[in-house]
Structure 1
Amino acid sequence: MDDAYSVQTTAADNSDQDGLETLMALKDADTFLVADHWGDVKSGADGLFDRDTRLLSHFVLTVGRCRPSRLSSGVTEDNVFFTCHSTNRPLPPMGGRSAPAGVLHLERRRFLWDKRLFERVRMVNHGIEDILLPLSFEFAADFADIFQVRGTMRAARGEIHAPVMDGRRVSFSYTGLDQVLRTSCLAFSEPPARLSANRAEFMFSLPKGKKLDLYIECGLDACDAPDQARWRWNSIQARLAMRRRMRRGASVQAARNPRVNDWLRQSRTDVALLTTDLPTGPYPYAGVPWFSTPFGRDGIITAWQMLWIDPSLAKGVLTYLAARQATEVNAFMDSAPGKIMHETRGGEMSALGEVPFGLYYGGVDTTCLFIALAGAYARRTNDMETIRALWPHLIAAAGWMSDYGDSNGDGLIDYARAAETGLSNQGWKDSEDSIFDSDGCFPQGPVALLEVQGYAFAAWKALADIGARLGDDRAIQWRARAEAVRVLVEDRFWMEDQNFYAVALDGNGRQMRAIGSNAGHLLFSGLPSPERARLVTRRMLTAEFRSGWGLRTLAKGQARFNPMSYHNGSVWPHDTAMAAAGMARYGERQAVSMLLGEVFGAAAHFQLRLPELFCGFVRETGEPPIAYPVACLPQAWAAGSVFLMLQAVLGVSINAAEGLVEVSNPAMPTGLHQMSILDLEVGDSAIDLTFQRLNNHVVVMPRERRGTVSLRVTG
């Protein structure tokens, strides 16, 4: 097996990077939990949250007033259960001899379901004597808004009411400044020996060789006493729900390479974990902990990454976003008629308008991406019933592109935030310092980002394709708009002296000449000429961009380059994947194969769960990639990246209207010899494909067909 696929397994299994060690996440619908590896909720981003409000801000288990010694912990393969195994330190004397260390096994096992945390603490006495076991929990509920937890200061808060104790329950409540009463309840299956507003103390008599279970629940509302039956029933429901999400779409498998299969499985389960089944269909929330909510851009890109194997995500995303399309001009929300949502939040600060993100539209690219994804979905599924239902929303989105997205009438989509409370940069690189000139100076608005013009190009083409199918006479005009955008971008963004595209134009039409990964997204849209695409690809594959773990967001040596920054030199897996897919669009397969191997190498060091981003330091022999300390983990479009890159390297495209799967010039990374795509649905039909390396070539063979789907291989 090649080194690219045997990356220091021991290091991957035993890594203990601080930025990741503190984060163990569970999620169900709008509820998520972040705790440390003991299962304790202690500080920072930790806590049990529902709809952006923290219901449990402190929850720490001790045995004999000491934290137990952790043996191991982790989340199950299906992302449903967290389990921590630990043992006792020496217990204090209780009327006799002290129990020595290491005789008590504690298993702390938990899951989330139906807006509630379920936990079981199992205690087993492996000693030679009976034990008096002092077990306690410290707890608190601060009802902090997610933006408070992230560090946003508030001038005032509402009223936290005194907790109410009731035998084996503690009820917490808070009346916000929005006059909404928010509550949570912590309940135990056994009555504590002592129960106060912030502590529950138990004294268990545990005979030698015996076990004892304590059940705990915490949720929005009070419940009956936790017990084994409730635990079992709800755990089954949680696991079945995850299985249903996991079974959507085709499966991808690598033969004789369990490590790669583990990565594929982890990525698929992470997408499933973050996906919430809403009334409009499944929607991948962006990431835990900071972005566990629907985001427009993130949802669209994740759905696009998964489109070839699971189109249901795209349908759910398009339908949800259409239902929240803007209908008015509102500076605080940064909205205008036809614009597609950037973000929605459910906490107190959003409800009060302290932050604009209750329903916020400050993303310049989301509306174009919405139309482009609809076009890709139509081609992939031939689901014209859904497309017809979306058609008025697609027309309204195109209206925004024409009437509001181009503020100065130069034919390019641009942005300038409408209110000081909004985002200053409104592309995917939305940090304040992410867009600048070659000398590091920031542009004056409105700003026209390079990649957004590519999305607009793809949107006009998609609208033309759909319009032609629906018999809309405007299809010719939309196709002409796409070509006009292409000509403008080639004329105004191309830097002949750099053989590369400028990252943006400022409000005066002046090039922002920084060299960034934005050009990779332009390749993804298919806008550049083949000659310029080759030049961009060649430069992006140099050491300026390649870290050895993926592509940097900013070329090394540029002004403001910092491998530890959020957007100015770090590596984002989804960014690398989109650039790789863009390269593959122009026939470059081997480079994509190489990048896929590098990203796998990074994943191997992150326990096969790619974070939102990591630092862009150069890869050194024997050293792991360096974590970005507050990256979301898991993150939807990071998890989806492997599937977009696989589609790109295998050269797979699907045209459901023709019942056709086309494979063009397939390749596979070194070290992989066979891959299978099982149950790839095309309309009402399905096909199984096997990709096999033979000498220096990769061939594809259909293994099983159901229905009339056909396979065409080119190149």
Structure 2
Amino acid sequence: MAPSHTVRILDGNTFVVCEATGDIEATPTEPTGLFSLDTRFLSKWVLTVNGERLNALSYDDLQYFESRFFLVPGLATHYVDAKLSIIRERAVGGSFRESITILNHDEKAVDLEIRMDAACDFADLFEVKDEILNKKGEIYSEVEPDRLRLGYRRGNFKRETVISSSVPPRYDRNGFGYTVHLEPNEQWDTAIDVQTLAVGPGGRDLRMGLRVHGTERLALQHDLEDWIAKAPKVNSEHGQVAATYRKCIVDLAALRFSPLSLGGQTLPAAGLPWFMTMFGRDSILTCLQTLPFTPELSATTLRILAALQGTRFDDFREEDPGRILHEMRYGESAAFEEQPHSPYYGAVDSTPLFVVLLDEYEQWSGDGALVKELEQECRRAFTWIDDYADLIGSGYIWYERRNTDTGLENQCWKDSWDSISYRDGTLPPFPRATCEVQGYAYDAKVRGARLAREFWGDPAFADQLEREAAALKERFNRDWWVADGGYYALALDPEGRQCDVLSSNIGHLMWSGIVDDDRAEQIAHHLVGPRLFTGWGVRTLAEGEVRYNPIGYHNGAVWPFDTSFCAWGLRRYGFADEAAVIANGILDAARYFDGRLPEAFGGYPREQTKFPVEYPTACSPQAWSTGAPLLLLRTMLGLEPHDGHLAVEPRLPVGMGRIEVLDIPGRWGRVDAFARGRLDLHQLGD
């Protein structure tokens, strides 16, 4: 691979962002460094030979957890006749390990001064994100005979980076160095170990007992091989589909995150670099996308979120009894309550989605024991929906932040400050109720009724939930329908006035099942119409709206995860051809990102740009973008659990050719699904 600006290596709780040379030089505008548990453990890691910086010839992205860098001394203008080769090989997996190999190609011996400058600012990830570094504790550096210890302490909060080398170097407070003599054609190498320590009260390492995927390269490799072997196999005449699928499976392995103090269980972290932690909404939606392929993520996600379900009223964390968390952080700012993510509960959708995932997981897995285990958590979730989330007594879920300093203003998935607006572009007052959350609540009650009747032995509660769901659907279709547009409003304000813009949220409504059947066709036409559908994916906000911007985060950009749920919703209502059109667009877009879809990309029309335009600050890899191709495969093949069996009803676009998905796991054991494309894309929209 040719050198690029940054290289990213990750393994669940730990990740590295560096230059194409392997060097790390932290900047205020980019999350460069070695990060773990929301703390930067290396802010400088610069290799020089005889005082000279190195130039990158290339680097190899060997696996998600390791990279190799091929370097020579000097600048690009004069390295052609370089007599030295330098190879850096790096792996992360609970720690950071780097091997350095230097080869002398000269006809004579050479004497080298090899130096690694090392430093750490121990920045909280929020400090990096906000470009404000304001450390209130003490940064220290201790030189020991066999290691260099870089540390930070503030009260009981302590973080350390401990560096050692297989070849003993000369340590100093700013790094370490070696004096090396190499004969012609001789090579020298060393292995450097960088341990990161998170010390809590009593001097205990907070990560003791945390399951990582291995601390050695071989263990990491075996873990990845096992992960891939357990996942279904995808073969396709359209080779890019199979390549994208494999990329997604590997990225899901990389994004597995182990929350502290929860037995080493893993769930999907939201995304690199800003969100390598537990998010309720993101983890649940990712599990829904990937359930046919990696079902084990769903069980652990449900258990972990249940263990951290809200139990009290806490305005700082926006916690309520029964509420499912939004985000958990482990850095300094969370430890000292300078921000509320310890955990933070400011999301209105994660609680109903928790019930949705539990039901969907049981339908696929047959794991009735987990449904029984989480009965009380589900009942508390329904209590939150009915008693605590309905802020104005209208029968809907509303939000208004109680933490006015650091809490989120918008607590739906479109959580940027300007994502909710009226048609004239103005922003509504609070509290606000967004449409897709009402759909999630409807779906949760329908699914909860099934669970109550079949697993909890409570038919009366099942009947109650079904009545409430039916009333919610009727009320919603009355209050949210924009008659002059033929779609549902994005949100309501506290006076019941509609935020009457056309948005991608209507696709989530189709997925939840809250859309009246006689209105579904109008919604389907909007989703594949030119105002929302770019040819690559569905815009978050329709072209022509006052706040529309093709690179607006939630006001016109395309989010692959969002588009995948729109396709699933279309398929639910029988619009299989339209779902295939959308799926084809996103899978085509994946080719331009080497199979790794970013968090978001520009909402420009396909005919205008000819390629999907990158969004400047998008996370990549990101969990629910990684899950999008998997959900689209499910949607195109029509994979649905039915009466204990897997139903397959494929509808593929022409040109995709034959697709086979082998060994799909579920309560049926493992089965195969096959499909061939027959849809004429040009017939749609005529």
| TM-score normalised according to structure 1 size | 0.87
Kindly state the Cα deviation for residue 684 of structure 1 after the two structures are TM-superposed: 5.7
Partner amino acid for 1:245? Answer: W
Q: Is the 8 A contact 1:287 1:634 kept in 2?
A: yes
Question: Residues 568 and 344 from structure 1, CA distance in 2 versus in 1: closer, same or farther, beyond 3 angstroms?
Answer: same
- Range moving further from structure 2, 451-460 or 514-523: 514-523
Q: Is the 8 A contact 2:159 2:197 kept in 1?
A: no
Kindly state the Cα deviation for residue 150 of structure 1 after the two structures are TM-superposed: 0.7
Partner amino acid for 2:232? Answer: A
Matches within 5 A, 1:481-496: 481-496=468-483
What is the alpha-carbon distance in structure 1 between the residues aligned to residue 291 and residue 280 of structure 2? Answer: 16
Q: Does 1:197 align with 2:192?
A: no
Residue of structure 2 equivalent to 1:27: 10
Q: Is the 8 A contact 2:601 2:612 kept in 1?
A: yes
Residue of structure 1 equivalent to 2:684: none
Residue of structure 2 equivalent to 1:141: 120
Partner amino acid for 1:598? Answer: G
Kindly state the Cα deviation for residue 305 of structure 1 after the two structures are TM-superposed: 0.2
Kindly state the Cα deviation for residue 349 of structure 1 after the two structures are TM-superposed: 0.5
Q: Of 441, 450, 453, which residue of structure 1 is paired with 2:438?
A: 453
What is the alpha-carbon distance in structure 2 between the residues aligned to residue 102 and residue 264 of structure 1? Answer: 41
Q: Is the 8 A contact 2:157 2:335 kept in 1?
A: no
Kindly state the Cα deviation for residue 620 of structure 1 after the two structures are TM-superposed: 4.6
Q: Of 549, 554, 576, which residue of structure 1 is paired with 2:536?
A: 549
Residue of structure 1 equivalent to 2:211: none
Q: Does 1:170 align with 2:148?
A: yes
Q: Is the 8 A contact 1:164 1:170 kept in 2?
A: yes
Matches within 5 A, 1:431-450: 431-450=416-435
Kindly state the Cα deviation for residue 610 of structure 1 after the two structures are TM-superposed: 1.1
Q: Does 1:241 align with 2:228?
A: no
What is the alpha-carbon distance in structure 2 between the residues aligned to residue 603 and residue 404 of structure 1? Answer: 41
Residue of structure 2 equivalent to 1:60: 46
What is the alpha-carbon distance in structure 2 between the residues aligned to residue 363 and residue 284 of structure 1? Answer: 18
What is the alpha-carbon distance in structure 1 between the residues aligned to residue 293 and residue 168 of structure 2? Answer: 50
Task: Report SS of the residue matched to 1:453.
Answer: helix
Matches within 5 A, 1:310-389: 310-389=294-373
Partner amino acid for 2:92? Answer: L
What is the alpha-carbon distance in structure 2 between the residues aligned to residue 428 and residue 408 of structure 1? Answer: 21
Q: Is the 8 A contact 2:644 2:668 kept in 1?
A: no
Kindly state the Cα deviation for residue 586 of structure 1 after the two structures are TM-superposed: 1.4
Residue of structure 1 equivalent to 2:401: 417
Question: Residues 187 and 74 from structure 1, CA distance in 2 versus in 1: closer, same or farther, beyond 3 angstroms?
Answer: same
Q: Does 1:124 align with 2:100?
A: no
Q: Is the 8 A contact 1:280 1:316 kept in 2?
A: no
Q: Does 1:38 align with 2:21?
A: yes
Q: Is the 8 A contact 1:282 1:312 kept in 2?
A: no
Matches within 5 A, 1:220-259: 220=196, 234-254=216-236, 256-259=237-240
Question: Residues 197 and 101 from structure 1, CA distance in 2 versus in 1: closer, same or farther, beyond 3 angstroms?
Answer: farther
What is the alpha-carbon distance in structure 2 between the residues aligned to residue 99 and residue 500 of structure 1? Answer: 62
Partner amino acid for 2:112? Answer: L
Partner amino acid for 1:661? Answer: L
- Range moving further from structure 2, 494-503 or 276-285: 276-285
Residue of structure 2 equivalent to 1:9: none
What is the alpha-carbon distance in structure 1 between the residues aligned to residue 190 and residue 551 of structure 2? Answer: 44
Q: Is the 8 A contact 2:654 2:677 kept in 1?
A: no
Q: Of 640, 655, 665, which residue of structure 2 is paired with 1:671?
A: 655
What is the alpha-carbon distance in structure 2 between the residues aligned to residue 500 and residue 694 of structure 1? Answer: 30
Kindly state the Cα deviation for residue 90 of structure 1 after the two structures are TM-superposed: 7.8
Gapped regions of structure 2 (runs ≥ 5): 199-213, 682-686
Q: Does 1:598 align with 2:575?
A: no
Task: Report SS of the residue matched to 1:640.
Answer: helix
Residue of structure 2 equivalent to 1:702: none
Kindly state the Cα deviation for residue 167 of structure 1 after the two structures are TM-superposed: 4.2
Question: Residues 362 and 678 from structure 1, CA distance in 2 versus in 1: closer, same or farther, beyond 3 angstroms?
Answer: same
Residue of structure 1 equivalent to 2:616: 629
What is the alpha-carbon distance in structure 1 between the residues aligned to residue 79 and residue 604 of structure 2? Answer: 49
Q: Does 1:81 align with 2:66?
A: yes
Over the matched positions of the two proteins, sequence identity in percent amounts to 34
Partner amino acid for 2:15? Answer: F
- Range moving further from structure 2, 559-568 or 393-402: 559-568
Q: Does 1:150 align with 2:129?
A: yes
What is the alpha-carbon distance in structure 1 between the residues aligned to residue 146 and residue 579 of structure 2? Answer: 58
Task: Report SS of the residue matched to 1:105.
Answer: strand
Question: Residues 432 and 545 from structure 1, CA distance in 2 versus in 1: closer, same or farther, beyond 3 angstroms?
Answer: same
Task: Report SS of the residue matched to 1:67.
Answer: strand
Kindly state the Cα deviation for residue 25 of structure 1 after the two structures are TM-superposed: 2.3
Partner amino acid for 1:434? Answer: S
How many residues end up aligned between the 2 structures?
656
Residue of structure 2 equivalent to 1:467: 452
Residue of structure 1 equivalent to 2:569: 582
Question: Residues 621 and 511 from structure 1, CA distance in 2 versus in 1: closer, same or farther, beyond 3 angstroms?
Answer: closer
Q: Does 1:101 align with 2:81?
A: yes
Partner amino acid for 1:236? Answer: L
Task: Report SS of the residue matched to 2:266.
Answer: strand
Task: Report SS of the residue matched to 1:485.
Answer: helix
Question: Residues 576 and 23 from structure 1, CA distance in 2 versus in 1: closer, same or farther, beyond 3 angstroms?
Answer: farther
| TM-score normalised according to structure 2 size | 0.91
What is the alpha-carbon distance in structure 2 between the residues aligned to residue 495 and residue 685 of structure 1? Answer: 46
Residue of structure 1 equivalent to 2:639: 652
Kindly state the Cα deviation for residue 413 of structure 1 after the two structures are TM-superposed: 0.7
Aligned Cα root-mean-square deviation (Å): 2.4
Kindly state the Cα deviation for residue 153 of structure 1 after the two structures are TM-superposed: 4.1
Partner amino acid for 1:149? Answer: V
What is the alpha-carbon distance in structure 2 between the residues aligned to residue 243 and residue 170 of structure 1? Answer: 35
Q: Of 640, 662, 683, which residue of structure 1 is paired with 2:627?
A: 640
